A and B are shown apart, each in its own frame.
Chain A
Amino acid sequence: MEKAIKSMPLCTFTAEGFTEGEKECTMSDAITLSFGFKYDNLEEKETPGYLHSLRYPFLKKTGWNVIIADGQTKEKVIMNEKVYAKDGNSGKFEMKQRFGQAG
């Protein structure tokens, strides 16, 4: 069991929203949204392997889905993306978008 737990995807997640080169965000700014994850039980140069499943006898990479939606209505889905850890124990997803209009 301990060997299995060592290979579990125990991650630390980060989320950040900012406007490049500015301290404050305004409605008309292009906002950068950055999401990151790091596998806590892997070394820096280790990458997660294929998933384990008794009922899936094929190779499949593990990844994380990022869904960006309107927090109030949950109806407006802006982005749905799958992110994988490449060349190391961490992965990052970044998007830059203008969400509002001035006036």
Chain B
Amino acid sequence: MLPKTVSRKTQNMNLKPLLLILGNLYGDDIMNDPLLKESVDYIRKLSPHHITMMLEVGTELNALARQGTSVKKINARNFVTIIEFQQSWTQGIWNGEDPLLQLPHFDHDVVKKVRKSIKDFKLPNASIEGFCRLTKADRASMKLFDD
């Protein structure tokens, strides 16, 4: 994902923000290192405002494109992508990863167990919402945690 060669476009690029953003999305624990934490927290703090700004600019570009005064075409899918990115960024998970990873104490092993149980229970709704709407007894029978 990082540029492999130095070109005129990338030679003066500051790669630190890009690295911090990718590190946060991958949920890498190195982001808690005191050397990086201050910088990544700065980006985290500003991110809601930047994302709101992206949505506002998208709305403006969409309106301009409809009037025929903008070459950039922004459609509903672009807005959904920005909103999904906002969620992934806030929760520190990569786009497309299992949404159950957003729950506290849910790591890849637990999610694997849940997915297997959902298959065994033949649940119609395998989403995070479907899991939460199960009865307490059904969730307990999945035996997700050892304790």
Residues on A facing B (Cβ under 8 Å): 1-2, 4-5, 8, 10, 51-58, 60, 65, 67, 69, 73-77, 80, 82
Please report the C-alpha to C-alpha distance between residue A77 and residue B64 in the assembled complex, in whole angstroms: 11
Instruction: State in angstroms the CA–CA spacing of A77 and B65 once bound together.
Output: 11
Instruction: List the A residue with the shortest CB-CB distance to B133.
Output: A10
Which B43-94 residues have a C-beta within 8 angstroms of A?
Answer: 44-45, 48, 52, 55, 58-59, 62, 65-66, 73-77, 79-80, 83, 90-92
| Top 3 A-B residue pairs of the complex, sorted by shortest distance between their CB atoms | A55-B92, A69-B76, A74-B76
Known: A1-B144, A65-B83, A67-B79. 11 other contacts (CB 8 A): A2-B139, A5-B132, A10-B133, A54-B91, A55-B44, A56-B92, A60-B48, A69-B75, A75-B75, A76-B62, A82-B52
Residues of A within 8 A of B58 (CB): 77, 80
Say yes or no: A53-B92 contact (C-beta < 8 A), given A8-B132, A10-B133.
yes
Q: Interface size of B by Cβ–Cβ distance < 8 Å?
A: 37
Asked whether B27 is an interface residue with its Cβ less than 8 Å from the other chain, the reply is yes
Task: Enumerate chain B interface residues (CB-CB to A < 8 A).
Answer: 24, 27, 31, 41, 44-45, 48, 52, 55, 58-59, 62, 65-66, 73-77, 79-80, 83, 90-92, 102-105, 128-129, 132-133, 136, 139, 144-145
Taking CB as reference atom, which chain A residue is nearest B45? A58
Cβ contact of B105, chosen from A1, A51, A53, cutoff 8 A: A1
Report Cα–Cα, A8/B73, bound state, in Å. 36
Q: Which residues of B contact A55 (CB under 8 A)?
A: 24, 27, 31, 44, 90-92
- Please give me the residue from chain B that is nearest to A52 by CB atom: B104
| Nearest Cβ on chain A to B41's Cβ, whole angstroms | 7
Q: Given A55-B24, A56-B90, A57-B44, decide whether A77 and B74 contact each other with a Cβ distance below 8 A.
A: yes
B77 & A74 in contact (Cβ 8 Å cutoff):
yes
Contact A77/B91 with A5-B132, A55-B44, A58-B44 known, Cβ cut-off 8 Å = no
Say how far A75's CB is from chain B's closest CB, in angstroms. Answer: 5
Closest to B62 in A: A77
Contact for A57 among B41, B83, B103, CB less than 8 A: B41
